[in-house]
Amino acid sequence: MTALAALVALVGAMFVVLAPAKAQTPPYAALNLLVDFPQDSDDTIAAGTQTQVRLRLSATDLTSRLVTEADAKAGDWSALTYDFAYTEGTALTYIRASEGLILKIADEAGVVLAGADASAAVLESDPAAVDLTPASTAAQRAAAHTVTISSDALTAIVPAGVDDPSAVISAAVVAGVTITYTPYIADADQSDAVTDVNDDLQPGAAEDSVSIYIPIDPAATADAPQTALPTLSDANATRTGSATLNIGNVDEVNSIVFGRSSPKRGSTDPGTTESAFVSTAGGTTEFTLHVFNANDKPSQMNSISSIVVSTTSGTFSSEHSGDTDLNSGGQCGGGSTTCELEPSRTASTALPVTGLKFLLAAPTRSGPADIRVVVISRAGNVLIDDEQQVTFHGPAASLEIGDASGTVLGYNAGDDEESDYDPVEAPDKGMNARDQISFSVSAADKSGTTVGTPSLSAKITGPDGVAVSNNKFETSQSGDLSDTLHLDIDVAATKALAAGAYQIKVSAGSLSTSGAFTVVHTADGIEVEVSDSAPSGIGDQVVVTATVTSGGEPVADGTEVLFRSRDKTGDTDSVLIATTSENMGTKGGTASVTFVTVGDGSAVITATVSDDTTPVVNVQVVQSTAGAAAPVAEEATVACLSNLQGFATWSCSVESSASEIFGLVSGRGATAIHLWNGSSWVRYSVVDGTMVPGSSDFMVTENDILYISN
């Protein structure tokens, strides 16, 4: 049995397929009952209060499977329908609350276990089917797989005096859902029934649709699938769900976060941020305010007395100023530098999870603006966020170019155009980016205020004073202000630009500025330095730095240097081990690797640049004494004497006194020791513990000549 057949056998009991066999196998899908508390962002309320309980049915979200015809392959989905089913008045099986909580349904209060009356009061009308296509709005797609079956009819009351930390509210409802999708199929005029060519596809007709019904007939199997939907009253199954309601007090206004919106308007990328530089020609930027309670959840609206956002320049408006729960009192959107929102005391919901949005519109004059927000709670807490700043600017009136980021290789280092470096998508340079450098190109308006850099054109002049053809290089801009200009050399190695100093002139309309950069070829020189050539301790760091040049200039950034450490003696005990990558790219012509000492001995460190030519290599030797056994101190013994009587020499490097040596040999019959000092004999002798007259206790060093009397 193939893997696909095995999968069909496993899931066959969960699905019913009502379409031709050519359609795609339905995906896994499920239906769940959700219980939550929409008026409490953190599901926490105090004793003596009440909150709304919401019941919802949620099917598996399959909307991501919808694709447009231009992107489709055979079997992809062109349309999707969710059709929920439950019977009003009989579908609700029970609602229960623990810990003495009281459930209130409409005007009737009490703990509800079951009953047609309760069911009729809670359940809304049967939901209509939701039809989706790839063109459906994001809001439609997000809500399509979830349907509310209880909205404001059900309330949980927490009696005063309840001291339990939490309560559980659970419910059960008899329901089902039919999920139907329509696949793209091959055009009838095409001989190939399954094709990846978009022109050969069309959305399927009704008879091509595939339906997943949850639940299915328990008797259905992969070999005998359900072929028709049973009567809904017989087919729907019980769905259960529960939620925990925390009982206690929480500081509803505890902290605020305020700043330029991220992601910026129209983007889903969290890495984007609204601009801090706004054009006076009708520019705007958006700010977002989050107000959190002590549980770091959005605060309840009715716990906030006032929200004031102000600016020293420009005007504020708020998309929430028309909200009945957030009355602006006419302070927002009227050309005012202040926007004040006053949440209603009767508001029963939390602030939006996405925060409150405020739009700052630029004035007609350029300059900075300081932004401040103040939030006051009904309990009297005052929260003030750190001051924000934006800059309003007019059109660019001047350009200024900075230094080149480094030298640049004189030809395209990529294997082909697609493998070359993209400065915007992949800012970390490597070997295939040596043909790129960048410049900062800033712009300012006539008052000196920094503005976004306009689109630039570039003209390059070579060392010979001749202009470089525009088809030999490309430019692009990146950054929030488009103020980083990237230069990409785009010629083959066989037609490389000449090495040397180049001039670049960038222009935007009547504005221009000029800079310089250096073109280099591949590496032809390398020097290696080590931070410590004689480490003595295990774990000592040795930083090895290679300086790589081309014609005396630093090579292009990203030129790879391979570092290696090998024991000079060739034994198996390592002397150095790298703690960073041993294959490093240059920056400003240098690359470094860190080694640590792990043993004693000599290690040869090599740094090699293979580049695109004959390798260039340099070496350094590190002599480590780390971990070496300490030398044993030499002692004075009779073994240091070449003879124990008559003429003898002292062969040990350790010095010794005549009295110490006499003590070693007197027990062997010696009566005196004589030292030849180069011109005469010096004597040492002891009788009955007393040094005889004429004796002296001289020092004996290595290779001294002695005479031992017996």
What is the pLDDT at residue 374? Answer: 96
Q: What is the pLDDT of residue 14?
A: 35
* pLDDT tens string 303-359: 999 999 999 999 998 888 778 888 876 678 767 899 999 998 888 888 988 999 999
Instruction: Output the pLDDT for position 543.
Output: 96
Question: Mind listing the pLDDT tens digit for each residue in 379-389?
Answer: 899 999 888 99
> What was the pLDDT predicted at 416?
42
Let me know the angle formed at the C-alpha of 509 by 476 and 394, rounded to the nearest 5 degrees.
90
pLDDT of residue 431: 63
pLDDT at 517: 96
Residue written as token pair 């976004």: 452
Cβ atoms < 10 Å from Cβ of 507: 15
Is 686 a residue whose pLDDT tops 70? Answer: yes
Answer yes or no: are the C-beta atoms of 407 and 552 closer than 8 Å: no
DSSP 65-98: GB--GGG--TT-EEEEEEEEE--TTTSEEEEEE-
User: Is the separation of the CB atoms in 367 and 392 below 8 Å?
Assistant: yes
Q: Residue 139: what pLDDT?
A: 79
Q: Which residue has the higher pLDDT, 613 or 205?
A: 205
Q: Where do the DSSP E strands lie in 568-630? A: 576-578, 583-585, 590-597, 600-609, 616-625
Closest CA to 456 of 504, 505, 516, 506: 506
β-bridge partners, 157? 50, 102
Per-residue pLDDT reduced to its tens digit, 145-176: 998 887 677 888 888 888 888 999 999 888 88
Per-residue pLDDT band at 43 (split at 50, 70, 90): confident
The answer to whether the beta carbons of residues 554 and 524 sit under 8 Å apart is: no
Q: What is the per-residue pLDDT for 1?
A: 32
Collapse the DSSP code of 655 into the 3-class scheme (helix H, G, I; strand E, B; otherwise coil) and give the result.
coil
**For the chain, what percent of residues have pLDDT higher than 70?**
84
Going by DSSP bridges, is the β-strand pair 237-247/44-45 parallel, antiparallel, or unpaired?
A: parallel
pLDDT the model gives residue 195: 43
Of 570 and 461, the one with more pLDDT: 461
Q: Is 21 helix (H, G, I), strand (E, B) or coil?
A: coil
Return the sign of the alpha-carbon dihedral for residues 113, 115, 118, 121.
positive
**CA-to-CA distance for 111 and 99, rounded, in angstroms?**
11
Measure Cα distances from 345 to 216, 295, 299, 320, 326 in Å.
49, 21, 13, 16, 10
Say what the pLDDT of residue 625 is: 87
Q: Are 159 and 48 in contact (CB under 8 A)?
A: yes
Name the DSSP class of 115.
Answer: -
Radius of gyration of the CA atoms of the chain, in A: 43
232's enclosing H/E stretch is helix 232-235
| Residue 233 pLDDT exceeds 80 | no
Mean pLDDT score across all residues of the chain:
83
548-557 as b/e: b if 16+ CB within 10 A: bbbeebbbbb
Ranges 115-129, 283-297, 443-457, 613-627: which has the least confidence: 115-129
More confident residue, 269 or 573: 269
For the cut 70, the answer to whether the pLDDT of residue 422 exceeds it is: no
- Give the angle subtended at the CA of 603 by the CAs of 597 and 606, to the nearest 5°: 110
- Taking the whole predicted model, whether its pTM rises above 0.85 is answered as no
Query: What gap in Å lies between CA 37 and CA 246, rounded to an integer?
Result: 11
What is the spatial distance between Cα 252 and Cα 471, in angstroms, rounded to a whole number?
Answer: 63
Q: Which residue has the tokens 């990558």?
A: 581
State the pLDDT at residue 572: 65
Min mean pLDDT across 120-129, 297-306, 324-333, 566-575 is at 120-129
CB atoms within 10 A of CB 81: 16
Task: Decide which of 571 and 400 is more confident.
Answer: 400
The whole-angstrom separation of Cα 193 and Cα 158 is: 63
User: What span, in angstroms and rounded, lies between the C-alpha atoms of 589 and 214?
Assistant: 65
Find how far residue 536's CA is from the centre of its chain: 40
Min mean pLDDT across 71-75, 185-189, 308-312, 348-352 is at 185-189
Q: How confident is the model at residue 59, as a pLDDT?
A: 92
Token pair recorded at residue 342: 């006053």
Query: What whole-number distance in Å separates Cα of residue 612 and Cα of residue 555?
Result: 13
The identity of residue 673, as a single letter, is: I
Asked whether the predicted pLDDT for residue 115 surpasses 60, the reply is: no
Q: Per-residue pLDDT for 23 more than 50?
A: no
Token pair for 661:
């040596």
Q: How far apart are CA 455 and CA 440, in angstroms?
A: 13
Element (H, E) at 516: strand 511-520
Higher pLDDT, 568 or 547: 547
Residue whose C-alpha is closest to residue 518's, from 487, 482, 484: 487
Q: Which of 206, 208, 190, 191 is nearest to 75 (CA)?
A: 208
Measuring CA to CA, how many Å separate 234 from each of 85, 114, 129, 217, 386? Answer: 12, 19, 20, 9, 61
CA 282 to chain centre: 35
Which whole number is the average pLDDT over 251-271? Answer: 90
- Residue whose tokens read 């920056």: 587
The widest CA-to-CA distance across the chain, in whole angstroms, is 134
Tens of pLDDT, residues 271-293 = 889 989 899 989 999 999 999 99
Give 37's contacts (C-beta < 8 A, 6+ positions apart). Answer: 43, 45, 51, 52, 53, 54, 156, 243, 245
**pLDDT score, position 710:** 83
Query: What pLDDT score does 417 carry?
Result: 45
Q: Which of 4-18, 165-179, 692-706 has the lowest mean pLDDT?
A: 4-18
Rounded CA gap, 58 and 84, in Å? 9
pLDDT of the residue at 419: 46
pLDDT band at 595 (very low <50, low <70, confident <90, very high): very high
Tell me how far apart the alpha carbons of residues 37 and 245 are, in angstroms, rounded to a whole number. 8
DSSP 329: T
pLDDT (tens digit per residue) in 493-548: 889 999 999 999 999 999 999 999 999 999 999 999 999 999 989 999 999 999 99
pLDDT tens digits, 475-506? 999 887 889 999 999 999 889 999 999 999 99
Q: How far apart are CA 323 and CA 326, in angstroms?
A: 5
Strands 511-520 and 408-409: parallel
SS3 per residue for 399-415: EEECCCCCCEECCCCCC
Give the rounded percent of residues in the chain with a pLDDT score beyond 90.
Answer: 38
Q: Which residue has the tokens 């020293």?
A: 312
Q: What is the pLDDT of residues 618-656, one digit of tens each?
A: 999 999 888 777 767 788 888 888 888 888 998 888 899
Burial of 283 (0-12, 13-18, 19+ CB in 10 A): middle
User: What distances in angstroms separate CA 589 from CA 26, 407, 584, one per listed residue?
Assistant: 58, 9, 11
Q: Considering only CA atoms, which of 609, 573, 592, 616 is closest in space to residue 530?
A: 592
429: pLDDT strictly greater than 70: no
Rounded-to-integer distance, Cα 517 and Cα 312, Å: 43
- Extract the tokens encoding 68: 């447009």
Report whether pLDDT(201) > 90: no
